[in-house]
């Protein structure tokens, strides 16, 4: 009969095994914690976050305005020479529209590029739908609008911009509007289209023709009622009442430059930088050293403010008391501030060459200004005009804060 040999655990070995087991458990817990931490975003809100576009490097910075710092740098966005950004309704995700047709989704909390699709050959901005489920992109090449699911970036609809004459047109001035609408203009054809996505799978298109020559950009008023397209081919604007589209498109400010010598246009003004301040609307005039002042009750001109150069953005401080204006090349080193009560310039300063964009914090105590050729973004106190801080950035252009998530048309 063979004896069975079993290992004998001596009293000295038992504590050693228990120690090794404890070390293993602690190390495993540390690894699990580290993995979980890598997958989970930082526990913080998103209301003070934003994005700075670095146009020549295809990169962005994620910023926070409470402490005026950059908290992440992300690469891989392609051509950002004319980029714009919209935000998800929870303010966590940024959707970036690149000039090369790239549509990118960024998680602002993890600082990661979540998804990127090349949806066209040449794009000029986009919009997010009223319910936040759809992202629309306006395209030069091929001319039209493409619509995507905001969660997955899977395609939902393709709307070719085939004009009444049968030719394909560039699309500009794409905005969101109440009622799950997207509204946009056909640059080459002089048309405005409304795309109604209440039935996501069967969008309905309404077309308005003959609105004027070469609509170059557009805005929608903050209540979502009026869509206004600027006309590059003539002095005037086209207005569409989205409450009563059956009335068609009306002309406003018709011939505002009539009888005056036309100036060369160095950069097209951006109508999405328009300002509703006090009792008036302030719009940059095309090819003129003026900001136009409109009465929104009658849509007639009530004044003009002579300014330093050809205005690009005329941006209203959130309380409506000031409008800050930047200018086209070669006078793009200057910013002027208009007092909306007196319609006078009350401050002028020169941050540096190529001031490209201005963005107010949600309650207007700060304004962030990109100074492209100085590779920095400056932050100013809007009451004292004191420069509070500067951030290094590579050829910065657009600055977009998450407060835009809750504003129509931005």
State the SS3 of the chain: CCCCCCCCCCCCHHHHHHHHHHHHHHHHHHHHHHHHHHHCCCCCCCCCEEEEEECCCCEEEEEECCCCEEEEEEECCCCCCCCEEEECCCCCEEEEECCCCEEEEEECCCCEEEEEEECCCEEEEEEECCCCCEEEEEEEECCEEEEEECCCCCEEEEEECECCCCCECCEEEEEEECCCEEEEEECCCCEEEEEECCCCCCCEEEEECCCCCCEEEEEECCCCCEEEEEECCCCCEEEEECCCHHHCEEEECCCCCCCCCCCCCCCCCCHHHCEEECCEEEEECCCCCEEEEEECCCCEEEEEEECCCCEEEEEECCCCCEEEEEECCCCCCCEEEEECCCCEEEEEECCCCCEEEEEECCCCCEEEEEEHHHCEEEEEECCCCCEEEEEECCCEEEEEEHHHHHCCCC
Q: To 5 degrees, how large is the angle CA 9–CA 12–CA 16?
A: 90
Give the rounded distance of the alpha carbon of 377 from its chain centre. 17
Supply the range of the domain harboring residue 146: 119-265
The answer to the question of residue 289 being in a domain is no
The answer to the question of residue 380 being in a domain is no
Quote the number of domains for the chain. 1
The answer to the question of residue 204 being in a domain is yes
Find tokens 């930088």 and name the residue.
Answer: 273
The predicted structure's pLDDT at residue 264: 59
| CB atoms inside a 10 Å sphere around CB 76 | 11
The answer to the question of residue 275 being in a domain is no
Q: Is residue 315 a contact partner of residue 329, using CB atoms and an 8 Å limit?
A: no
The answer to the question of residue 356 being in a domain is no
- Residue 253: CATH number of its domain: 2.130.10.10
The CA distances from residue 376 to 228, 348, 355, in Å, are 33, 19, 10
The predicted structure's pLDDT at residue 64: 97
Q: Is residue 282 a contact partner of residue 267, using CB atoms and an 8 Å limit?
A: no
The predicted structure's pLDDT at residue 235: 83
Q: Is residue 237 a contact partner of residue 252, using CB atoms and an 8 Å limit?
A: yes
Q: Which two tokens stand for residue 117?
A: 């699709």
Q: Is residue 88 a contact partner of residue 405, using CB atoms and an 8 Å limit?
A: yes
The answer to the question of residue 220 being in a domain is yes
The CA distances from residue 6 to 2, 3, 18, in Å, are 13, 9, 20
Positions in the chain short of pLDDT 70? 1-39, 257-268, 273
Omega before residue 142 within 30° of 0, cis? yes
The predicted structure's pLDDT at residue 287: 82
The predicted structure's pLDDT at residue 28: 44
The answer to the question of residue 163 being in a domain is yes
The answer to the question of residue 149 being in a domain is yes
The predicted structure's pLDDT at residue 209: 97
């Amino acid at each position: 009969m063979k004896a069975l040999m079993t290992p004998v655990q001596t009293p000295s070995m038992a504590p050693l095994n228990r120690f090794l087991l404890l070390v293993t458990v602690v190390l495993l817990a540390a690894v699990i914690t580290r993995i979980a931490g890598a997958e989970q975003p930082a526990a913080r809100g998103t209301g003070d976050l934003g994005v700075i576009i670095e146009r020549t490097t295809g990169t962005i910075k994620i910023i926070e305005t409470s402490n005026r710092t950059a908290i992440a740098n992300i690469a891989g966005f392609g051509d950002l020479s004319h980029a714009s950004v919209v935000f998800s309704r929870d303010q966590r995700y940024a959707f970036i529209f690149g000039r090369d047709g790239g549509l990118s989704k960024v998680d602002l909390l993890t600082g990661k590029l979540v998804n990127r699709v090349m949806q066209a050959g040449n794009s000029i901005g986009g919009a997010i739908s009223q319910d936040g489920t759809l992202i629309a992109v306006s395209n030069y090449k091929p001319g039209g609008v493409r619509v995507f699911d905001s969660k997955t970036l899977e395609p939902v609809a393709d709307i070719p911009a085939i004009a009444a004459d049968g030719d394909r047109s560039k699309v500009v001035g794409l905005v969101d509007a109440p009622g799950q609408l997207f509204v946009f203009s056909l640059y080459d054809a002089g048309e405005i289209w409304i795309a109604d996505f209440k039935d996501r799978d069967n969008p309905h298109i309404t077309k308005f023709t003959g609105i004027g020559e070469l609509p170059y950009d557009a805005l929608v008023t903050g209540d979502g009622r009026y869509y206004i397209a600027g006309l590059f081919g003539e002095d005037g604007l086209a207005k569409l009442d989205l409450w009563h589209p059956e009335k068609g498109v009306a002309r406003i400010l018709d011939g505002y430059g009539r009888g005056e010598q036309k100036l060369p246009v160095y950069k097209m003004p951006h109508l999405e930088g328009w300002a509703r301040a006090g009792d008036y609307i302030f719009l940059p005039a095309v090819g003129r050293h003026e900001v136009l002042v409109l009465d929104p009750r009658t849509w007639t001109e009530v004044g003009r403010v002579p300014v330093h150069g050809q205005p690009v953005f005329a941006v209203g401080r959130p309380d409506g008391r000031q409008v800050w204006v930047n200018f086209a090349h070669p006078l793009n080193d200057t910013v002027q501030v208009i007092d909306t009560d007196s319609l006078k310039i009350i401050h002028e300063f020169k941050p540096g060459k190529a001031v490209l964009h201005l963005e107010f914090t949600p309650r207007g105590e700060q304004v962030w200004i990109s100074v492209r050729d100085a590779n920095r973004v400056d932050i100013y106190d809007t009451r004292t005009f004191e420069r509070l801080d500067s951030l290094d950035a590579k050829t910065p252009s657009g600055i977009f804060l998450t407060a835009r998530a809750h504003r129509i048309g931005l």
